[in-house]
């Protein structure tokens, strides 16, 4: 009986990921290029390399190294030109570098491969809006809303309102939040956060969020969750900074604003805290938590006899 052939192992590209994680993105690309020249099993190497290039690009973009991010994505696309998500990732890098015609071509390539690619359709609409075609962009986004499943419909509607005000940067943040879908790495981190929080390990839970925030800087809910955890730890100054970032990204995030008010109150700024709660009630007069918080503070301020 002939022995079964031994399947070649998936190549270990962790050294490149590790270099990129340490901020040495260009070195990570050089390592991958060297590995490509030395690869014996080309077909086995390509799939792993594309994933590695994409991770290096994401890390470089987060660190502000858009040039290296672009180089990494172009290498990945050279290996796998039919991957729509790589074209989309390249488009976002090019938009950050203000190279709109090239970004449009990258988005067109993504949509040619996958015509119903929600994230690419939204980015194309935002690009149209930024170039003055707001009516056309709104029509495209209404089509998206009508024929697609939106993960966070409220955020999507808020994005539409921001776009109507010609605030496409704010709209972009809201649309990306609405369509972010399933992200295994983020899901694992949030599961860990919830388990630690339920176990009373609040400091470790907060640290779990701090570890992933550099990769998800534009997600206001993560900043708000971190701020709420810091508030429970009694770190009101840290909480205030985290919650301020959440509100900077999404000023209509009512839960974050209420936590922001609690942090101000913890620091002794009751009048400013009250103003923040009233801002919530101006936008949503029926907001139950905001009303309860004001009533609680009002009761604390009265004498025992009047209570």
The tens digit of pLDDT for each residue in 86-139 reads: 898 899 899 888 898 999 999 999 888 888 788 888 889 888 888 888 888 888
**225 in a domain, yes or no?**
yes
The fraction of the chain above a pLDDT of 90, given in percent, is 18
- Higher pLDDT: 191 or 230? It is 230
Has residue 224 been placed in a domain? Answer: yes
Q: Is residue 294 part of a domain?
A: yes
Q: Which domain holds residue 269?
A: 184-301
The length of the chain is: 307
**Does residue 37 surpass a pLDDT of 70?**
no
Total domains in the chain come to 1
Closest CA to 102 of 79, 77, 137: 77
Q: Is residue 18 part of a domain?
A: no
In a domain, 161, yes or no: no
pLDDT surpasses 80 at 195? yes
Could you read off the pLDDT of 165-184 as tens digits, one per residue? 777 677 777 787 777 654 55
CA dihedral sign of residues 209, 213, 215, 220:
positive
What is the domain-level CATH number for residue 225?
1.25.40.10
Is residue 107 in some structural domain?
Answer: no
Mean pLDDT along residues 206-230: 84
């Amino acid at each position: 009986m002939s022995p079964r052939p031994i399947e070649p192992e998936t190549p270990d590209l962790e050294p490149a990921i590790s270099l990129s994680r340490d901020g040495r993105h260009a070195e990570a690309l050089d390592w991958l290029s060297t590995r490509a020249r030395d690869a014996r099993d080309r077909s086995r190497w390509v799939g792993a390399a594309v994933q590695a290039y994409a991770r290096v690009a994401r890390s470089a973009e987060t660190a502000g190294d858009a040039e290296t991010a672009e180089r990494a994505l172009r290498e990945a696309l050279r290996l796998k030109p039919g991957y729509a998500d790589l074209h989309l990732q390249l488009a976002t890098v090019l938009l950050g570098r203000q190279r709109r015609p090239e970004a449009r071509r990258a988005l067109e390539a993504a949509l040619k491969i996958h015509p119903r690619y929600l994230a690419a359709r939204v980015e194309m609409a935002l690009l149209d809006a930024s170039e003055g075609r707001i009516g056309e962009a709104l029509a495209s986004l209404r089509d998206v809303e009508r024929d697609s499943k939106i993960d966070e419909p409220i955020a999507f509607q808020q994005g539409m309102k921001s776009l109507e005000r010609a605030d496409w940067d704010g709209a972009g943040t809201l649309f990306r939040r609405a369509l972010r879908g399933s992200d295994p790495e983020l899901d694992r981190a949030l599961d860990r956060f919830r388990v630690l929080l339920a176990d009373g390990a609040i400091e470790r839970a907060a640290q779990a969020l701090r570890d992933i925030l550099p990769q998800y800087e534009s997600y206001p809910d993560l900043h708000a969750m971190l701020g709420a955890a810091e508030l429970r730890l009694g770190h009101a100054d840290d909480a205030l900074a985290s919650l301020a970032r959440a509100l900077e990204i999404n000023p209509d995030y009512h839960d974050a604003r209420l936590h922001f008010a609690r942090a101000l109150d913890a620091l002794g700024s009751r009048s400013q805290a009250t103003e923040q709660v009233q801002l919530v009630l101006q936008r949503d007069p029926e907001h139950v938590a905001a009303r309860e918080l004001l009533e609680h503070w009002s009761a604390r301020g009265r004498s025992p006899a009047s209570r």
